[in-house]
Amino acid sequence: MVTAPASGAHATTRDAILDAALVVLERDGLRASRMADVAAEAGVSRQSVYYHFQSREEVLAALIDRGLADFARAVRAGAAGQRVEGFVVAAVEFFADNQVLCRLLITEMWGLAGDPHAPRRIVDRAEEEIITPVAQRIAEATRAGEVDCADPTLAARALMGQIAGVVLGLVVREERLDADRLAPQLVAYARAVLGAGHGGE
């Protein structure tokens, strides 16, 4: 379930509940977590939690929704930078800063909203909010002679898929995600895929 953006005190309370839910899910696991635990962690009443979310599944869906929006903003900001591969650094840093959310998303959250169409909507949204802006930036860099990429959309999908595969594998195994070490390696990989040595420097 994707909810409309909230504002003011409503948004503040809602975000506090979601932040608390992440803490509870990381500490207790999905099956042992309760809405009452989320309320206690957030410092609000159970009634307040149920005012914003009717069920645990709605909380999980909202966490996915917020996480995807935050990730898309970070990647778009990175792609808009001076260097075309800036989106790679932005993606790795986001994963490093949000390991709990990423781990829960992969291991426990997927499909829990009870909606069989939810995965398709998430993929479609990622295509629109993440892949398309990255592909546009790659196309701009190709026109400017910075890189040599025949299919920017395919390159954007491939690169984001590779980044997710490398990073999320570490997250799920609960290994340390060192963004300072990983980002330069993945940037070098991205530049090779994009033909930066041919079209640009």
CATH of the domain at 134: 1.10.357.10
What is the domain count for the chain? 2
For residue 2, what pLDDT band results from cuts at 50, 70 and 90?
Answer: very low
Instruction: Tell the burial category of 127 from Cβ atoms under 10 Å away from its Cβ (0-12, 13-18, 19+).
Output: middle
Closest CA to 143 of 59, 200, 86, 69: 200
Task: Report the pLDDT value the prediction gives residue 107, as an integer from 0 to 100.
Answer: 62
Look at residues 10, 32, 54 and tell me which one is the last residue of a structural domain. 54
Rounded Cα gap, residues 180 and 173, in angstroms = 19
Q: Which of 3-17, 27-41, 127-141, 173-187 has the lowest mean pLDDT?
A: 3-17
Nearest alpha carbon to residue 159 among 135, 125, 176: 135
Cα distance between residue 189 and residue 183, in whole Å: 10
Q: Domain boundary at 9, 34, 54, which?
A: 54
The reply to whether 137 and 81 lie within a common domain is: yes
Domain range for residue 50? 1-54
58 and 140 Cβ atoms separated by less than 8 Å = no
Regarding whether 176 and 98 lie in a shared domain, the answer is yes
pLDDT tens for 133-157 read: 999 999 999 999 999 999 999 999 9
Give yes or no: residues 99 and 25 share one domain: no
Helix (H) or strand (E) holding 140: helix 132-143
In a domain, 201, yes or no: no
Say yes or no: 6 and 80 in one domain.
no
pLDDT digits (tens, 9 = 90+) for 47-67: 999 999 998 888 988 888 899
Angle at 35 between CA 170 and CA 171, to 5 degrees: 0
Amino acid at 87: F
Query: What average pLDDT does the chain have?
Result: 86
What global pTM score does this model have? 0.83
114-120 LR contacts (CB < 8 Å, sep 24+): 114/57, 115/1, 118/61
User: What is the C-alpha to C-alpha distance for residues 135 and 39, in angstroms, rounded to an integer?
Assistant: 41
pLDDT digit string (tens) for 168-196? 888 778 788 899 999 999 999 999 999 98
